[in-house]
Amino acid sequence: MTWLLIIGMGVVVFLNRYAFLEPRLPLRLSANARQFLGFAVPGMLTAICGPIIFMPAHTLNLQPLNPYLLGAVVAAALVRLTRNVMLSMLLSMLIFFVLRSVLS
Amino acid sequence: MLACLVQMPIPMPSIARHAFLQGAIAILPLSLAVAPWGLLAGSMAIAANLSAWEGQGLSAIVFAGAAQLVAIGMLKSGASLASILLTTLLLTSQHLLYGLSMRPALSPLPLRWRLGLGFLLTDEFFALTSRHDHQHFNRWYALGIGFTFYVAWNLFTWAGIVLGKSIPHLDQLGLDFSIVATFVALITPLVRNLPTLACVAVSLGASVLFSHWHWETALVSAGLLGMGTGFACQKLGRVV
């Protein structure tokens, strides 16, 4: 039963991933579709971050002193200033953990 | 950050290996960032009375963190096979969008490359490979990213299975901030115009609202709404 579930889930997820990679699928992307999909990276990555930042422990937290929010703002500011992705990630993580221990 | 390496002249036979290694290096930070979820996926499987093989099998065959964690939770509460599969379908529907977006780069590849890279197509894979347009898409670079991430995910799952419940409150340590730090650092340089800013703002607000409403399709709905907003702004901007 459990193995049936695991394999079933594997098939479902793989079909989601593979469906549009199949060249025999009769589909040509129009200029508009390509333009729309150009927003996929900022749109989807932001959607993944949203709940992590504003719903830590699955409850809504809209306080300005939320360490996840402050950490995200610091990361954005750092990458603007330094243009260094790796440095910004590491520094903002350090600042997040300091803020977290101070604010809680 | 690796731009200087990309532009170095490389002797022909080592191009593939070089690109593979570049991909592996590029995904390292995100591979470490998923450590808490990998550990959680392993330890939760054991806590839900799955065998070690079944727990590892989930990560090896399904390879989708959110779907795995939700499925284990549903299994524990006695949900039916059909309802878990339907939830998996909804929870992982953003991959349809990734596939569509990467179609120009991936669909002309031979079958084994399509199957392999298709299987490895995760949020993180998409975040790193779609920064290049499809003329500059390198299959070996993509494979380095996907394969390294797959190995890391399975190693962390294995560690979670072995450590089991001996890691207290793993989900409350704030390790998930590493995903935020990485994605914010990737998104921020893209926000150079009003349409992208609008896309990010709407996607952020909608993702929090839809998650608060417990929508299973919260992420992909919010993403689509944000993308639509950005697209509409771009169109309107041309007209005005």
Domain ranges for chain B: 16-188, 191-240
Task: Write the pLDDT tens digit of every residue in B8-21.
Answer: 444 445 889 999 99
* C-alpha to C-alpha distance for B172 and B56, rounded to whole angstroms: 23
Shortest distance between the Cα of A64 and any Cα of chain B, in A, equals 15
- Torsion sign (Cα): A93, A99, A101, A103: negative
* C-alpha to C-alpha distance for B232 and B226, rounded to whole angstroms: 10
Domain ranges for chain A: 2-103
Check CB contact under 8 Å for A49 and B190.
Answer: no
Three-class secondary structure assignment of A35-65 = HHHCCHHHHHHHHHHHHHHHCHHHCCCCCCC
Task: Write the pLDDT tens digit of every residue in B40-73.
Answer: 889 889 888 899 999 999 999 999 988 998 899 8
For residue A55, list chain B residues with Cβ-Cβ distance below 8 A.
Answer: 208, 211-212
Percent of chain B scoring above 70 in pLDDT: 90
Q: Does residue B78 surpass a pLDDT of 90?
A: no
Per-residue b/e over A59-73, b at no fewer than 16 CB within 10 Å? eeeeeeebbbbbbbe
A43: amino acid identity, one letter: G
Q: Does residue A8 surpass a pLDDT of 90?
A: yes
* C-alpha to C-alpha distance for A62 and A73, rounded to whole angstroms: 14
> Which residues 156-195 of B have a C-beta within 8 angstroms of A?
172, 174, 176-191, 195
* C-alpha to C-alpha distance for B209 and B44, rounded to whole angstroms: 27
Task: Write the pLDDT tens digit of every residue in B105-131.
Answer: 999 999 999 999 999 999 999 998 987
What is the pLDDT at residue B9? 46
Check CB contact under 8 Å for B224 and A43.
Answer: yes
How sure is the predictor about B5, in pLDDT bands with cuts at 50, 70 and 90? very low
The interface pTM score, or ipTM, of the predicted complex is 0.88
- Which of B51, B44, B47, B39 is CA-nearest to residue B153? B39
